[in-house]
Chains A and B, each alone.
Chain A
Amino acid sequence: MIEQPNLDYVDQLAGDDIAFRGQFIEIIKTEFPLEKEEYFGHVTNNRFKETAEIVHKLKHKFNILGMQDSYKLAVTYEMELLKGNQDSKSKFIKVLQTIDEYIKTI
């Protein structure tokens, strides 16, 4: 089963700063769909280097959302892409779908 995202890190960072929490959620709701779209744009067209770049960006979000296993998967996938293969593609897409669902709930 794929691990689930959470806001533990953000909550810890925010403390009782509700404004920061709100700002963070707003950013992730804006940035994530755009980056996901960029990812699919590149991966569909087999642009490996560009795909690796956007995977690099996305993996940072995995980390912030407490998804350490998904982060490790993204690290592997990024390396694969730079070598011209993408064995981890389907697993990576599942992570994106999981986050996509999650951010609709926050």
Chain B
Amino acid sequence: MNCIIIDDEAMARAIVKQLCSKIPNLDVIEEFDNAISAIKFLNQQTIDVIFLDIHMPGFSGVDFVQTLKDPPKIVLTTSDTDFAIAAYEYESIVDYLVKPITQERFEKCIDKISNLPAHKPAQPAATGNEKDEGEDLYINIDRRLIKLKLNEILVIEAKGDYIDVKTEKEDYRVHTTLKKIKEKLPERLFLQIHRSYIINFTKIIDIEDNSVLIAKNVVPISRSNRPELMRRLNLL
């Protein structure tokens, strides 16, 4: 069985590593001080178990769990028992360990994991399964139907009863809701990253902590939408 450790504190990582060292056939293959680096690693490696600190600045353990497409077994490590409640909201979370973790409790956790079915990585989705979406979208402005090429749309912003559609060529104000236009947009290109914003995912220039840059538009990312955005990124 192999595992990784994610914790922003070196001391906490050292302790989990020490606990692992006493378990036969449990190999720590990597440790990370932040969840983002671990996501990049997990895109390339199959892991059986993750020991995950739930309380990390910026991108928390819960954000991380929500981000994973095909999560292995996850054991939360926490110094707050309150956080343990979160443990049972996700199927992939199989146990939680309250710091300071004792060897006895750790061994119990490993026994529990060993008795669970092994993690099998999901097979890649069959191609051609995706809904065949049209490449154009017609918007109604002053009784005129204007054709927009989907791949030219950059950002869509909710403005009360209207939405602003920003494209590479021009901006349009349309009398509709974000919810309605979202239903017409292919998921492979578009993603809602905030209550008021849908973005063309392929047009992202860069991402900072809480915002995305698309052309000259700085678009906020809400905390609840951030995990899905991170999941969709092809991180190196």
A contact residues vs B (CB 8 Å cutoff):
9, 12-14, 17, 20, 23-24, 27-28, 30-31, 53, 56-57, 59-61, 63-64
Contact = CB atoms under 8 A, between A and B. Distances in A.
B57 A63 contact: no
Contacts of B100: 9, 60, 63-64
B11 A61 contact: yes
A60 B19 contact: no
Interface of B: 8-12, 14-15, 18-19, 21, 55, 57, 79, 99-100, 102-103
Contacts of A13: 15, 18-19, 103
Given A24-B11, A27-B11, A56-B55, A63 B18 contact: no
Contacts, number: 44
Contacts of B8: 57
Contacts of A23: 14
Contacts of A63: 79, 99-100
A12 to B, nearest CB: 7
Contacts of B18: 13-14, 17, 20
A27 B9 CA distance: 10
A56 B100 CA distance: 14
A98 B146 CA distance: 71
A63 B100 CA distance: 6
Tell me the interface secondary structure of chain A in the complex. helix
Contact of A12 (B12, B21, B103): B103
A34 to B, nearest CB: 11
B15 A64 contact: yes
Interface pairs A-B: 7 shortest CB-CB = A27-B11, A60-B79, A27-B10, A64-B100, A20-B18, A63-B100, A9-B100
Contacts of A56: 55, 79
A28 B14 CA distance: 11
Nearest to B55: A56
28 contacts: A9-B100, A12-B102, A13-B15, A13-B18, A13-B103, A14-B18, A17-B21, A20-B14, A20-B18, A24-B14, A24-B15, A27-B10, A27-B14, A30-B10, A31-B9, A31-B10, A31-B11, A53-B57, A56-B79, A59-B79, A60-B9, A60-B11, A60-B12, A60-B79, A63-B79, A63-B99, A63-B100, A64-B99
A9 to B, nearest CB: 5
Contacts of B99: 60, 63-64
Contacts of A20: 14, 18
A20 B217 CA distance: 50
Nearest to A23: B14
B104 to A, nearest CB: 10
Contacts of A24: 11, 14-15
A30 to B, nearest CB: 8
A101 B138 CA distance: 71
